[in-house]
């Protein structure tokens, strides 16, 4: 396993966790509508939510590790590993948000993992 794969995997985990943070922060922010998104009130609620701020920070960290990963490896291989964020998000949503993991979701995530394996099999 090379450094690019490890960096990309860490990026995927951070991005998956950021998705959960955003979801956890939305109840405090309220309804998201296109009309409301540009208002000062909405922006103030976003920046006052610890969950939203945590999500933004984790997204930035994820982006930094993604940039480091593509500087060390092939873009196709790095982007394939980044798709692990679906797996991380689904597992964390199941554990912390009581979201379902249906057979179809598990099957889809399995296909993503298979895709990552196939992309890296030839390297």
The residues, any chain, with a CB within 8 Å of residue 32's CB and separated by 6 or more, are 26
Q: Which residue has the tokens 């590790």?
A: 65
pLDDT of residue 123: 66
How far is Cα 62 from Cα 93, in angstroms, rounded to an integer? Answer: 18
pLDDT above 80: residue 5: yes
Rounded average pLDDT over 4-18:
96
Domain that holds residue 25: 3-121
> CA dist 85 to 30, 47, 98, Å?
26, 24, 18
> For 73, phi and psi rounded to 5 degrees?
-150, -175
**pTM of the model as a whole:** 0.86
**How far is the C-alpha of 71 from the C-alpha of 79, rounded, in Å?**
12
Count of domains forming the chain: 1
At 61-81, the pLDDT tens digits run: 999 999 999 999 999 989 999
The predicted model gives 13-19 an average pLDDT of: 97
Residue 87's pLDDT is 94
């Amino acid at each position: 396993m090379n450094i690019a794969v490890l960096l990309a995997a860490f990026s995927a985990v951070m991005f998956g966790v950021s998705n959960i943070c955003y979801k956890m922060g939305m109840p405090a922010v309220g309804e998201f509508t296109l009309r409301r998104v540009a208002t000062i009130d909405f922006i103030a609620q976003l920046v006052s939510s610890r969950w939203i701020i945590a999500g933004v920070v984790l997204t930035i960290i994820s982006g930094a590790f993604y940039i480091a990963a593509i500087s060390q490896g092939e873009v196709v291989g790095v982007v394939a590993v980044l798709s692990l964020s679906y797996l991380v998000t689904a597992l964390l949503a199941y554990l912390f948000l009581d979201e379902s993991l249906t057979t179809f979701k598990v099957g889809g995530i399995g296909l993503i993992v298979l895709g990552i394996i196939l992309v890296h099999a030839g390297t």
